[in-house]
Amino acid sequence: MRTQLSTNGPEVSRIALGCMRLRDWGLSSSGLRRRIEECVELGVTTFDHADIYGDYSCEELFGEALSGIPRIRPRIQLVTKCGIVLVSPRGPGASIKHYDTSGKHIVESAENSLRRLRTDYIDLLLIHRPDPMIDVDEVAEAFAGLRDSGKVRYFGVSNFTHGQFDLLASRMPFPLVTNQVECSVLETAAFTDGTIEACTRRRIAPMAWSPLGGGELFTGRSERVKRIRKALEEVAGRPGEQAVEETALAWILRHPAGIVPVIGTGKLERIERAVRSLQIEISREDWFRIWTASQGRDVP
């Protein structure tokens, strides 16, 4: 199943695969090629990267695998991010971790991502984090240049407040297509702080990183986590980690904003679970049953 991120934005898969921990998947280059092919067969065609993932190495590993299956490239969407600079021998030589959204850095990061991913174009480029030193006119100019050159097709942001999003959007010569934010049954602020509403007002779909709470949903021992797990199992009608995982994703997918969860696993069985969550129908009452468990109180 596919969805359009915005009125004039790219089509992406309803579930995206996050590659932040790709180095930990334990796959050889040939194994990663097969995993990419398996994802595409399942309908998971959107792969989420950032220049810094794996200490600037994950894009390179993915690109090496992708180069062995060139027929796949037209069928997938590559998302990557820039703007965070790490202190790393693989990085640009920084002496302190910082943000850099200068036009020069954005263009250089995009070109480095193209080289590492071994592709002629990036489908979607995001500013990774809000930068207190951001010059929105400079960002807009860099984005426009990358689009005009054909190196990047669409642009968005990640972790921006709605005010920060609106500021950058006001200077863009074309629309931003998404805001990728943390969102899960454990992290619900985006539903109440104006983030989701701002996306909906602009008719764009948010992307949700850490849609399973970074594993906390399964390993957490707090009373709140236990309460949420119980609610998810009750809605699923069965106990167990699989029920919790599938129902937690279905809860996000049920929201009318069209949120695209970015799952962070390289395990095929878990990717298959995520795809199964697309078939789960959650009623409005059950959605609020899970919401109430997360908030720890009834709605007013």
* Catalytic residue check, 99: no
Which residues sit opposite 17 in a β-bridge? 47, 263
CA distance 286 to 291: 8
- CB atoms near residue 146 (< 10 Å): 22
Q: Where are the alpha helices (DSSP H) in the chain?
A: 29-42, 53-56, 58-67, 103-117, 136-148, 162-171, 189-192, 195-201, 216-219, 223-236, 241-253, 268-276, 284-295
Give the CA diameter of the chain. Answer: 56
Residue 267 CA: distances (Å) to CA of 5, 9, 119: 26, 29, 25
Residue 184 CA: distances (Å) to CA of 106, 156, 211, 213, 252: 29, 20, 5, 6, 7
| Length of the chain (residues) | 300
CA distance 263 to 83: 22
Token look-up 């989701």 returns 196
In terms of C-beta density within 10 A (0-12 exposed, 13-18 middle, 19 or more buried), how is residue 195 classed?
buried
Q: How many CA atoms lie within 13 A of 116 on its CB side?
A: 24
Catalytic residues: 53
